Each structure stands twice: as structure tokens, then as C-alpha cells.
Structure 1
Amino acid sequence: MENQQTLYYEFAPTEEGKMTIDPAKTALLVVDMQHQFISRDGLDAKLARERGMFDKWEYFFDRIDDIVVPNNKKLLDFFRSHQLEVTFGRITCHHKDGRDRSAVQRRPGWNNILLPIGDPGAEMVEELKPLDDEIVVNKTTDSVLSGTNYEFLLRNMGIETVVCTGVVTDQCVASTVRSLADAGFEVILVEDACAAATKQLHDAEIMIMNQIYCQVMSTEETIQLIAEQLEQDILV
């Protein structure tokens, strides 16, 4: 895909086509692909309809249904078929009144998220349901790393590269990508497996994060990169 970048990196040599990874040290991370946020019959969609705002969210739900869920499914199928690490991060709180949530998860407005563990809205959508042996991290923050043991789990498994997908691009996904980069992991952000409320927000965040925090790639490019390395490993 086109390697978009900000003014900060126009002078820097492009890394496109040069990235190498070890599939055995790579994990897929699916962020917040939960019923409440991305289902047309979820709570967020219901509230948008009640407030007469659903037309403003049509782009988001169309992208989720037509692009993001199918591409996440492609990535899950690929990782699972090659016995590669699959992980999930989801927004949930331990107390039913949400008093254990971080401040960012209780601010008035769209971010005021109350999803106790066990709430149906907290579950990943059926198409992307985790398997029994796959790691699911519960977070009360935007970043999957902050306030969880996710980083320790990655270190324990020897993971060096994280392939990140999910919603929303400019909030939880961006926070997670930045945290991973700051912790020293290589990050691939799969652009067409993510979504924000608007195309403008999505495109802006993708451009901001590209090169410094992650390498932005498409689903097909990500699969091809890993598949080529797997083939080389077999030949060796």
C-alpha cells in the first residue's frame, strides 16, 4: 500500500519492502472488536439510533462489516493455520459499577464505557471469537499494555513483533501501538483491519503513526510478508 508519512519523515529512507520478521516470534493482537462497539445491534449503534445520529456512523459500520471484520478473519485464519500466536485485548472492568476503570474509560460522552466482565457486549463478535487456548487480556485503559500483564506475556513467549488490528484506530489502537513501540516491540499496523469513526480520523492517525511507531501494511501485505518468511524457514 502507499507509504504515507508526515513531514517529520519525508527525508528519511523508506522501510517499505525491507522489513523482516521471525514468524515464531510474532503475535497477532486484535483490539476491542467487541459486540458493544462494532455490532449494528450493539449498544453503541442502539444509542446512535435513539439520538438520531446513526447516519453519522454509517461509514464506520459499513467499514466494519465490509472490510475490517473480513480482514481480521483472514488474519486469524492465517495465524491459526500456521500455529502462530493469536491474542486479544478487550475493554472490560471487574466491578459491576465500573469503579476500577481508568479515568479515560469513565469520561462523559462516547468514552464512558461500562462493560463488566461477563456482559455480552464485552465479548468479541462471533466471527472473531477467541479459541480456548488463545490469550484474552481484559483492560480498563485504552492501551492493551497499560494496567495489564500483556507485555509480560509477550516477553514470556519470546514475542518480538506484534501485528495489531481493531478499533478504534485513533484511540485504543493508537494507544496500544505507541505503548508497544515504547516497550521495544516491532509493530505492524494492519490499516484495512482497523476503523475509526470517520475516514479522516482513521487516515490522519495512520499517517501520524507510520514509520516511527509502526509499519503500516495491508492485510494482504502482512500475510505475504509472514508467508514468505515461513517458506524461507522451510527451505533452510
Structure 2
Amino acid sequence: MKRDRKYLSFYYETTEEFPDISLDPKKTALCIVDLQNEFVLRDFGEALAFKKAGEWERWIPFHDRLDDIVIPNNKKLLDFFRENNMTVSFGRIACQREDGEDRSPVQKSEGWNNMLIHTDSFAAQMVEPLTPEKNEIVVNKTTDSVTTGTNYLQLLRFMGIETVVVTGIVTDQCVASTVRGLADEGLKVICVEDACASGSQELHDAELKIMNIIYCDVLSTNETIQLIKKYLD
């Protein structure tokens, strides 16, 4: 199977053909990571903090990508999974205690990863076009990876899931950690390149190149949907 050579790293840049990707739609889950009000909205949460700090201008391309590409493609994937009765799951940063004492040390530290988002808060909710529906799994995490410190892997095993389609933000942190966690547990992973975003396009592209083929297959939204359609009854 051909791959987008943009996302081939040093290790695979001389490889021309790769094995075809196979999957069972009944054993495939969508995992949407951290597309929450806190991080996506332009008039709330982190965006307000960036504006107050005088850093908003450099974050505009990130939010443009979210609004114009990432959120629409996640909605497209979400609708497709729902229409075909496939498993849908969400991973979100959210703590159980209002004081945040149940957060991991990294989320209590100073700097970029320091955040306190309670499960019941508006900030914790998935952005409105991606609101979870009944029977869809929502995993609360206080770490980067959806697989670390949660029961997500156990739930996937109980449901017989073998392949996970991962989307969300940010590519080089929570998305990448989740992809690696899933891969290390023996699951097949597809990371949807135009349904993810990093703070910069450079970081996004670099992380996808690092992960591709080794930890996941990097595909576009349309490629992912067409692949699944091949295996639908």
C-alpha cells in the first residue's frame, strides 16, 4: 500500500511499498483526544490566557486549523462511525477533585502542562460539534495518554477492539502518547493526520513522521473512511 511520503521518516524513506492495512469494523474504535472547550474555543480557556499574555497572534494558525480542518474532519469521522454502529470513545483531561489533588505530577507542575480542569466544568466538555452521545465511552485522564492511569485499555479488551483510530490534540503530546500506549499493548493504530493538530505545523508534521509505520499508520480522514468501507459488510 502506498503511503504519503511526506510522513515517512529516515527509517522508511527508501521503502516504496508497505503492507496493506486490514481491519474489522466491528473491532475498530474511534478515539477523539482532548478536543475540549478549554483548548478549542477562541473566547474561553487557554485562548483567553494567550490573549492576556500577548501571545494570541502566534496561536491563530493553530485555531484556524482546528476550526477549518480538524473539527470538521472529526465530525465527519464521528458521523461515519455512528452511522455504521462502530465504537466511539473520547479521552479528555479532567480531574475528579475540585482542588485537583488527583492530578498526575506533570499536571501539577509549572509550565505548559499545568492545568486544573474538573470533570463537571464547561472547560472539560468536548467541543459542541463532538458532544458524546449515549453508549459512547468518555475516559477522564490526568496524564497525556488516554491509556495511562485509566481503564481504557481494559475496556477495549472487554469489547474485543483490535484497531483504534486516533484523532485530536495536540499531535506531539497527548495524541502521540496515546498512539504509543495503544501500540505497545498490541493494538493496531491509525492516526488521522488532518484530524489532529499541534501548536505549530512543524511539530505536527515531525511527530507524524516519527510515529508513522512504527507505531501507527498515518492516513487522512478520507483514506481512513475509504479503508473502513472496504471491510464493511
The answer to whether TM tops 0.5 is yes
2:30 maps to what in 1?
28
Q: Is the 8 A contact 1:139 1:147 kept in 2?
A: yes
1:130 maps to what in 2?
132
1:42 maps to what in 2?
44
2:103 to 96, 101, 104: 101
Alpha-carbon distance in structure 1 between the residues aligned to 2:14 and 2:69:
32
Alpha-carbon distance in structure 1 between the residues aligned to 2:120 and 2:85:
28
Partner SS for 1:146: coil
1:204 maps to what in 2?
206
The 4+ residue runs of structure 1 with deviation greater than 4 A are none
Equivalent pairs, count = 230
Is it true that 1:6 corresponds to 2:37 in the alignment?
Answer: no
Aligned AA for 2:59? W
Cα deviation, residue 103, structure 1: 1.6
Cα deviation digits, residues 132-184 of structure 1 (max 9, x gap): 21000000110000000000000000000000000000000000000000000
Cα deviation, residue 41, structure 1: 1.6
Alpha-carbon distance in structure 1 between the residues aligned to 2:214 and 2:143:
23
Partner SS for 2:192: strand
TM-score normalized by structure 1?
0.95
Larger CA deviation: 208-217 vs 102-111: 102-111
Larger CA deviation: 61-70 vs 41-50: 41-50
Aligned AA for 1:85? T
Identity across the alignment (%): 57
2:184 maps to what in 1?
182
Alpha-carbon distance in structure 2 between the residues aligned to 1:127 and 1:219:
17
Alpha-carbon distance in structure 2 between the residues aligned to 1:180 and 1:13:
26
Alpha-carbon distance in structure 2 between the residues aligned to 1:13 and 1:179:
28
Is it true that 1:79 corresponds to 2:59 in the alignment?
Answer: no
Partner SS for 1:20: coil
2:193 maps to what in 1?
191
Cα deviation, residue 52, structure 1: 0.9
C-alpha RMSD over aligned residues: 1.2
1:158 maps to what in 2?
160
Q: Which runs of 5+ in 2 are unaligned?
A: none
1:91 maps to what in 2?
93
TM-score normalized by structure 2?
0.96
Alpha-carbon distance in structure 2 between the residues aligned to 1:165 and 1:95:
27
Aligned AA for 1:68? V
Alpha-carbon distance in structure 1 between the residues aligned to 2:17 and 2:179:
20
Cα deviation digits, residues 61-108 of structure 1 (max 9, x gap): 000000000000000000000000000000001111111111221221
Cα deviation, residue 13, structure 1: 5.8
